[in-house]
Structure 1
């Protein structure tokens, strides 16, 4: 029984925030453009993967959602529902002209590419953007239940373009074309085939146990693999053996518990397997208030620096030349 004063958290919310920030930091250091690259979330149907995909869609214009191969029909259905949610998020919540929102606006603002019937479809979708500008936050829940993915995919294909969100369950099929990858699954074992990874790619592995094996590091020196979900405390605190990290660095899931305690919070976080954007903004605010920041990048449990990343870039450039 949970008493009123007891707070429960999964720790997933802060894990999402720090993992996405780590991936974006790694991409910037590898000189990968978020506007032109192709990114993916492996494990997109999970609690962490879902929100990571939504956050990445605010920055990236081309994203792939990848789920489990088991029970393919159900998982494809769920991936399609998530893609629909991301499109709605781009319209009603994300107000900057970037990522998936930018792709949608660029398509809908071009009236000339649609025939009469599809012109009406385009008009209906464009009106959603106008509705979003005037809608009260309290009234958005109903709008977020709309199914718009069929119309969006139809319009992109009619215009001669692939939809900006793709989805599937075959990792090996997508892997060779991916520049940026976030792995967040509950699977035990190594999921990425080293020989299929694109040269110069950045992979952020959030999974515990890790889904990216050391064989990737050994066989692919031209690929940057980093750990997700690591936090830097404002002071060099350590808890026992500190899970192998140096003082001042710890897992985001544990750090979320510390943040809620410091704040004397009365909010449960991430219960029920669905993290809300409000939860994310709340934890983000607490982290800023208490001085918890993204830890330096780590790869296979070791801290890495710009010199290490320069070697990975050099190896990737060598692959391109050859």
Structure 2
């Protein structure tokens, strides 16, 4: 039996109540003050992961009790110490590899220091997240009748670990790339590297409002706490793959725009009869790709550091994608805001787009 751990944390104060219902009745600031004092703990045991090759694995969700805001605003050393403590908890439970979930994967040097402090390997899960985000985007574009090679593709959070890898992979087949991030200097460096490597001259901006109306396809993977995208600026018929957690696209889009297809990025089906024993809002046997990467590495007995640092290895992205297929992981049906998107919905959306 292979064993893994995965570190999770509450994205927002409201998420704390999923484990501690009493927090629903307390002020947000008080909740954050309380959870900051709680040591990392076992949230649940994960059972029933079974590869199509017959290999079985079990694991644990380990809670790192800090919200996204706290992870971004508290001193980096303090946050890293808390994440390392969560990793040690996973070790003690029996994990042979541990994955860093959500904002724990972006702290400091994106897992490198944390890996040095633990006796088991570490992954952010970002390689498989990239692979599934691009696969899901291609599927959504096919459903909407968009040809990616002829479309303007905007990557938001382009200079981050996930965004940068998406840019490099997309540049192999697509030349109309637009890159958005907070720092212009980092964007310029990325654009220069892209031109040297792929001959693609990308448009860059630190102001989303400049490029959103031009984008046919958007992959967004920022590390922002609040929604970034002004849904009123989205082009009719656009496809948006939202990899960010918390989301970059506000939930109101389903109420205000019926001509834009937004999909949740990086959601996969896990082989076996999986019981996560913790409700994170997904249907049976599905998980985030970053969680799945940790499981895949365990099933493949590939106990080594993976997907660490700000530069993801393209070869590792291809390798984890191949291992996923071998063990029976696959892209889940397209979902938006945690609900399945039907073919009828997409057909209706296409009729609306074509009639305008």
**Structure 1 length-normalised TM:** 0.71
Distance 1:237 1:18 in 2: 20
Is residue 309 from structure 1 mapped to residue 346 from structure 2 by the alignment? yes
User: How far has the Cα of 1:235 moved from its partner?
Assistant: 3.2
Q: Structure 1: 5+ residue runs without aligned partners?
A: 69-74, 92-99, 101-163
Give the strand-richer structure, 1 or 2. Answer: 2
Distance 2:275 2:190 in 1: 38
User: How far has the Cα of 1:289 moved from its partner?
Assistant: 1.5
Distance 1:59 1:83 in 2: 16
Q: Give CA deviations for 1:74-119 in whole Å, capped at 9, x if unaligned.
A: x22211221222233326xxxxxxxx4xxxxxxxxxxxxxxxxxxx
Aligned partner of 1:83 in structure 2 is 191
Is residue 220 from structure 1 mapped to residue 257 from structure 2 by the alignment? yes
Q: Give CA deviations for 1:141-186 in whole Å, capped at 9, x if unaligned.
A: xxxxxxxxxxxxxxxxxxxxxxx41111110111111100011000
1:248–1:220 CA distance, 2 compared to 1 (3 A): same
1:316–1:231 CA distance, 2 compared to 1 (3 A): same
Structure showing greater relative contact order (alpha-carbon pairs closer than 8 Å, 6 or more residues apart):
1
Is residue 11 from structure 1 mapped to residue 113 from structure 2 by the alignment? no
The one of 24, 41, 44 aligned to 2:138: 24
Query: Which structure 2 residues correspond to residues 132-171 of structure 1 after superposition, within 5 A?
Result: 164-171=201-208
Is residue 208 from structure 1 mapped to residue 245 from structure 2 by the alignment? yes
Query: Which structure 2 residues correspond to residues 258-273 of structure 1 after superposition, within 5 A?
Result: 258-273=295-310
Contact 1:18 1:228 in 2 (8 A): yes
Distance 1:195 1:272 in 2: 35
User: How far has the Cα of 1:227 moved from its partner?
Assistant: 0.4
The one of 34, 37, 40 aligned to 2:154: 40
Distance 2:195 2:280 in 1: 39
**Structure 2 length-normalised TM:** 0.65
Distance 2:235 2:316 in 1: 34
How many pairs does the alignment contain?
240
User: How far has the Cα of 1:242 moved from its partner?
Assistant: 4.7
User: How far has the Cα of 1:306 moved from its partner?
Assistant: 1.2
Distance 1:12 1:35 in 2: 24
The one of 286, 295, 302 aligned to 2:323: 286
Aligned partner of 2:285 in structure 1 is 248
Aligned partner of 2:334 in structure 1 is 297
Contact 1:42 1:183 in 2 (8 A): yes
Is residue 275 from structure 1 mapped to residue 312 from structure 2 by the alignment? yes
Distance 1:282 1:35 in 2: 24
Q: Structure 2: 5+ residue runs without aligned partners?
A: 1-116
